[in-house]
Amino acid sequence: MNTHTRKPLPDLFLNALKLSLGDQVSTALAVREHHGRDESMYDICPPDAVVFARSTEDVVTVVKLCNEYEVPVIPFGVGSSIEGHVLPFSGGVTIDFSEMNQVVAINPEDLTATVQAGVTRKQLNQEIRHTGLFFPIDPGADASIGGMAATRASGTNAVRYGTMRDNVLSLTVVTAEGKVIRTASRAKKSAAGYDLTAIFVGSEGTLGIITEVTVKLHVQPEGISAAICSFPTVQDAVQCVISTIQMGIPIARVEIMDTAAVNAVNQYSQLSLKESPVLLFEFHGTPASVEEQATMVQEIAKESGGLDFSWATQTEDRSKLWTARHNAFFASMQLKPGCRGVSTDVCVPISRLAESIDITIQELAKSTIPYTIVGHVGDGNYHVILLIDRHNSEEVAEMERINHGIVQRAIEMDGTCTGEHGVGVHKMSFLVEEHGEDALDMMRALKRAFDPKNILNPGKIVHLKNT
């Protein structure tokens, strides 16, 4: 799948890199291979060298050398992306941010925190726990905050708290020329110039390299309650979600698992959930408001055919449910030992969600490829996990056909080819269908303006013409 040209690193470049950063530079094969894989279906594609950055100044040093020698440079958080975002198809240098893991500042009065890019979401929440605040974006994996900003991550809490787009106030970014810019202040709002923060959030390392992130924090709710409810069909479950959203009930999370996903989770997490489509809810607020929300949703669920609505008010019980949901991807892979799980995600307007999933299920029923469906359905976002042998060309071709159909239907419904996974490599071709060539030309112009030599994570998001 790699059609990019790889050039060996010039000796002068490598010598200069090692002279500047010493033992922070590694060319060991095991280290390079670790940074040449993610959770996508692509083969290992190691960079030529890995630099373990410890400061913004280290990143500046690397980028300036890469710019001078026209060497690709790729930022790497924890490698949890699933669309090939961090794979160095053109070779070059990967910058590992795991040692840039300091919480720079916590400002509880302003509900903000500033962190280095390598800080993970769990680490941040642990370090601010004493303030009574929390950072809500939860993509499942313990991803780095820098990586989450770069991919415009989302997750289970987005229906209440939004995505990274809504929760990043400011960024420190190293440009392709090695300059350091701060995209905004910590002010809650601004009308001063172009919104550079929004441009870099979701740019996947193709426009600049994020080294620090200032994020919004939220007050820990006084009361939290979870509930789980089974439904006869996926469509019944989705209709319950639509009715809940349209009623204006401020649920914090609402997740769906189809029957196959429930079966997989039961085996993997040793649960005994009813083997039918289920919704998992979570409610935040005061104890009284949480009880009111749950009661209203329970009535809606009954009207939608819901069965066995049960509450999980204890922290241990809630944690067990949500851990199982977060492990659904790995649980699914146990359904076909030795397989690769390919997860695609689309997002549609909530009014088209039931129709979108219904048609997708009908199409999946015609295929022999095992699958599971999970999703953040409160946002109109769902995922299909397809289990294939990636060395079987027929299965790969069938997977791509199914994936294209899911995406094409979402776009036709005024949705998007990716609600949260990002573009990386695998979703690049769908941008034409979603945005059109004129819009893509504007994206290409932005890429060329920010990165004239095309050294920043090249070959991702948009194809540059005549390159």
Residues 35, 111, single domain; the answer is: no
Residues 110, 208, single domain; the answer is: yes
Residues 140, 193, single domain; the answer is: yes
pLDDT band at 272 (very low <50, low <70, confident <90, very high): confident
pLDDT digits (tens, 9 = 90+) for 107-145: 999 999 999 999 999 999 999 999 999 999 998 889 999
CATH number at residue 140: 3.30.465.10
**Cα 26 from chain centroid?**
28
Distance CA 456, CA 175 (A): 9
DSSP one-letter string for 156-222? TTHHHH--HHHHEEEEEEE-TTS-EEE---SSS---SSS-HHHHHTT-TTSS-EEEEEEEE-EEPPS
Q: Say yes or no to pLDDT of 467 above 80.
A: no
Residue with tokens 């040793």: 270
pLDDT digits (tens, 9 = 90+) for 207-231: 999 999 999 999 999 999 999 999 9
Range of weakest confidence among 263-267, 327-331, 417-421? 327-331
Domain boundary among 64, 98, 132: 98
What pLDDT score does 324 carry?
Answer: 83
Domain boundary among 307, 329, 351: 329
CATH number at residue 316: 3.30.70.2190
Q: Which residues contact 331 (CB under 8 A, 6 or more apart)?
A: 261, 264, 265, 267, 268, 269, 324
Range 237-243 average pLDDT:
93
Note whether residue 149 is domain-resident.
yes
What pLDDT score does 295 carry?
Answer: 93
DSSP letter assigned to residue 363: H
Quote the pTM value.
Answer: 0.93
Residue 235 sits at the vertex; the CA angle it makes with 140 and 341, to the nearest 5 degrees, is 40
Residues 110 and 129 sit within 8 Å (Cβ to Cβ): no
Residues 296, 201, single domain; the answer is: no
Q: Say yes or no to pLDDT of 308 above 90.
A: no
Residues 117 and 144 sit within 8 Å (Cβ to Cβ): yes
What pLDDT score does 322 carry?
Answer: 84
DSSP letter assigned to residue 464: P
Note whether residue 464 is domain-resident.
no
Distance CA 61, CA 381 (A): 40
Residues 166, 237, single domain; the answer is: no
Residues 180, 236, single domain; the answer is: no
CATH number at residue 29: 3.30.43.10
Number of structural domains (the chain) is: 3
Range 449-460 average pLDDT:
97
Residues 17, 125, single domain; the answer is: no
Note whether residue 372 is domain-resident.
no
Average pLDDT value over all residues in the chain: 93
What pLDDT score does 404 carry?
Answer: 95
pLDDT digits (tens, 9 = 90+) for 139-195: 888 999 999 999 999 989 999 999 999 999 999 999 999 999 999 999 999 999 999
Burial status of residue 66 (CB atoms within 10 A of its CB: 0-12, 13-18, 19 or more): buried
Range 304-313 average pLDDT:
86
What pLDDT score does 1 carry?
Answer: 45
pLDDT digits (tens, 9 = 90+) for 245-260: 999 999 999 999 999 9
Task: Using alpha carbons, select from 331, 363, 360 the residue that is nearest to residue 234.
Answer: 360
Containing domain of residue 303, as a range?
223-329
pLDDT digits (tens, 9 = 90+) for 349-386: 988 998 999 999 999 999 999 999 999 999 999 999 99
Range 13-36 average pLDDT:
97
Distance CA 193, CA 396 (A): 46
Note whether residue 163 is domain-resident.
yes
Note whether residue 379 is domain-resident.
no
Residues 213, 233, single domain; the answer is: no
Residues 434 and 163 sit within 8 Å (Cβ to Cβ): no
Strand duo 253-257 + 307-312: pairing? unpaired
Note whether residue 126 is domain-resident.
yes
Fill in the amino acid letter for 106: I
Range of weakest confidence among 1-5, 92-96, 386-390? 1-5
Residues 242, 280, single domain; the answer is: yes
Range 419-440 average pLDDT:
94
Residues 80, 140, single domain; the answer is: no
Residues 6 and 45 sit within 8 Å (Cβ to Cβ): no
Note whether residue 358 is domain-resident.
no
Residue 71 sits at the vertex; the CA angle it makes with 60 and 51, to the nearest 5 degrees, is 50
Residues 301, 227, single domain; the answer is: yes
Residues 207, 277, single domain; the answer is: no
Note whether residue 302 is domain-resident.
yes
Domain boundary among 171, 192, 219: 219
What pLDDT score does 313 carry?
Answer: 72
Fill in the amino acid letter for 464: L
